Amino acid sequence: MAAKIFIDAGHGGPDPGAVGNGVVEEDVNLDVARKLGGILEEAGYEVMLYRTTQDENVLPNKAADLRNRANMANDWGADYFISIHTNASTSPSATGFEQYVYQLGGEAEALAEDIARQFTGRLGSSDRGVFQQNFSVLRNSNMPAVLVELGYLTNPTEALNLNSSAWRSAAARAIADGIAAHVRP
Ligand SMILES: [Zn+2]
C-alpha cells in the first residue's frame, strides 16, 4: 500500500490569501500543490488535493472550509497532510522558509525538518524554523500535518521567485524530496 499524501493548497474561493508585489497567494499555493502532487504520484505515492482549481471544494465560510480540508484528509485516511502557503509580513525585509505543526516533538516536526533540509538546501532560502501553531487544519487532521510557508511575497526578491514557474517547480521538487526522505512511497 502506497503512502497516502493529502495536499492542501491554502486559500482559494472567496479568499485569495496574502497579496503583494504582484503575487497572489492562492495562485502560488495552487501551482506548487499541483506540481507537488504530480511529482509524488510519479514517485508512486497516493495523492489527494483539496483543490485542483481556484475554487474546487472551497466553502464560502472560512471556518467551515478549514474544517472541511481536515475532514477530507481524515475521511480519505491520509498518512500525511501537507498544507501549502505563502507568507507575508509588514516588514519587506522578512524572508525565508517557515513551517508549522500542531505539536512539536512528534512525527510532524520530524517530517518538517526533512522538508526544511531539502528546501533550504536546494533553493537557498533561509530556514526560519518549525513552530507550534493552533491552526484548524493542523489541529483537526488525524495524521502528521505540516503547514509550509514557501517564502515572503512581501519581500521583493522572494516575490520574484514566487512568481516564477521554474522556482515553483523547484520548490515542489524540494518538498517532494523532503517527504521521500521521511517516508517511502
Ligand atoms: Zn496562507
Distance 84 CA to ligand 1 centre (A): 8
Distance 107 CA to ligand 1 centre (A): 23
β-bridge mates for residue 57, sequence order: none
β-bridge mates for residue 19, sequence order: 24
Kindly list the domain boundaries of the chain, sorted by start residue: 4-182
Q: What is the mean pLDDT of residues 118-124?
A: 97
Residue 107, Cβ density class (10 Å: 0-12 exposed, 13-18 middle, ≥19 buried)? middle
Q: Looking at the annotation, which residues are catalytic?
A: 149
Confidence band of 19 (pLDDT split at 50, 70, 90)? very high
> Distance between CA atoms of 131 and 143, rounded to whole angstroms?
17
pLDDT of residue 33: 98
Q: Which fold has domain 4-182?
A: Aminopeptidase (3.40.630)
Q: Half-sphere exposure of residue 57, counting CA atoms within 13 Å on the CB side?
A: 20
Nearest of 89, 94, 98 to residue 157 by alpha carbon: 94
pLDDT of residue 1: 82
Distance 46 CA to ligand 1 centre (A): 24
pLDDT of residue 97: 98
Q: What is the mean pLDDT of residues 127-135?
A: 98
Q: What is the mean pLDDT of residues 80-107?
A: 98
Which amino acid makes up residue 42? E
Q: What's the grid cell of residue 46? A: 497516493
Virtual CA dihedral for 52, 44, 98, 167, nearest 10 degrees?
-70
Q: What is the mean pLDDT of residues 15-23?
A: 97
What is the bridge-based pairing of β-strands 19-20 and 80-87? unpaired
Number of Cβ within 10 Å of residue 44's Cβ equals: 11
